[in-house]
Amino acid sequence: MTGENRVAPAQVLTAAGRDLRAPRAAGVAGLLFAALFIGAILLVRGQPAAESSPAEVAEWYLRGDSKRIAIVSLYLAPFAGIAFLWFIAVIRSHVGDREDRFFATVFLGSGLLFVAMLFAAAAAAGAPLLAVKFQRAPLPSPDAIGLARALAYTFLYVYGVRAAAVFMIAVSTLALRTASFPRWLVIAGYVIAVIMLFSVSFFKIVVMLFPLWVAAVSIVILFTARLPEASPPIRA
């Protein structure tokens, strides 16, 4: 019995340390998602568009630095999605046992759907470039590039943005019911979600509101993470 009494306090301290570190680590993942997502969107803007001439397309593809930058942007997108999965985990950890199953299911499903749309958009946008670089395909025509970019925009700006809006509404509702976030952050989440939900498609600045909101939530979690309530004493 004496040995059990000696081990129990150490186990309690270890569990408390895990509870403290988990939200902080995932909060950093939210900031990482925001940085990677915004970086990928900004870097991909330099690629040829549908209105580019065949000469402009050829010039861009023959420049090695432009292709490298585009490939970097394509690889940023999946890492942003992975970081967002960790961010989903921190929301559940922050809310804890107080979460409502209905809204938790909507929040989890919409978050996963957003990641799927992000991956699909990155794949569609990068398909012409990757075909030229790795499969030695001929240079794509402006029409082919326009089709690829239109498909990527549809995945991200039509479906992805709506999934992100539903995610924000579900998280804000959970936070409102459990008092997990400050009221100003909850209100901001609802307002941004409504803007994203009913925004005009292909309005590019709208998608930037989502990573900014994720960054704000991450900062709040990082500064409000605290030790869990004291556990009842362990009996021998």
Higher confidence at residue 224 or residue 118?
118
Residue 99's pLDDT is 62
**Which tokens hold the place of 87?**
């961010």
Higher confidence at residue 109 or residue 225?
109
Question: pLDDT at residue 181 above 60?
Answer: yes
Q: Is residue 120 part of a domain?
A: yes
Q: Is residue 3 part of a domain?
A: no
Q: Which of the 8 DSSP states describes residue 98?
A: G
Q: Is residue 5 part of a domain?
A: no
Residue 24's pLDDT is 57
Q: Is residue 132 part of a domain?
A: yes
Positive or negative: CA dihedral 131, 132, 138, 140: positive
Q: H helices within the chain, ranges in order?
A: 2-44, 54-62, 64-95, 101-134, 142-153, 161-178, 183-197, 204-207, 209-224
- pTM flag (> 0.85): no
Minimum mean pLDDT among 96-100, 122-126, 206-210, 211-215: which range? 96-100
Question: pLDDT at residue 50 above 90?
Answer: no
Q: Is residue 165 part of a domain?
A: yes
Minimum mean pLDDT among 2-11, 92-101, 132-141: which range? 2-11
Q: Is residue 213 part of a domain?
A: yes
Question: pLDDT at residue 116 above 90?
Answer: yes
Positive or negative: CA dihedral 170, 176, 182, 184: positive
Q: Is residue 231 part of a domain?
A: no
Of the ranges 38-42, 70-74, 141-145, which is most confident? 38-42
Confidence of residue 36 (pLDDT cuts 50, 70, 90): very high
CA dist 104 and 11 (Å) reads: 30
Q: List CB contacts of 141: < 8 A, sequence separation 6 or more.
A: 54, 57
Scored b (16 or more CB within 10 A) or e, 159-193 reads bbbbbbbbbbbbbbbbbbebebbeeebbebbeebb
Q: How many of the other CB atoms lie within 10 Å of CB of 154?
A: 17
For residues 217 and 26, the answer to whether their CB atoms sit within 8 Å is no
Count of structural domains within the chain: 1
Q: Is residue 229 part of a domain?
A: no
Please give the mean pLDDT across all residues of the chain. 78
Question: pLDDT at residue 231 above 50?
Answer: no
Half-sphere exposure of 101 (CA within 13 A, CB side): 0
Domain of residue 43 covers: 11-224
Question: pLDDT at residue 234 above 50?
Answer: no
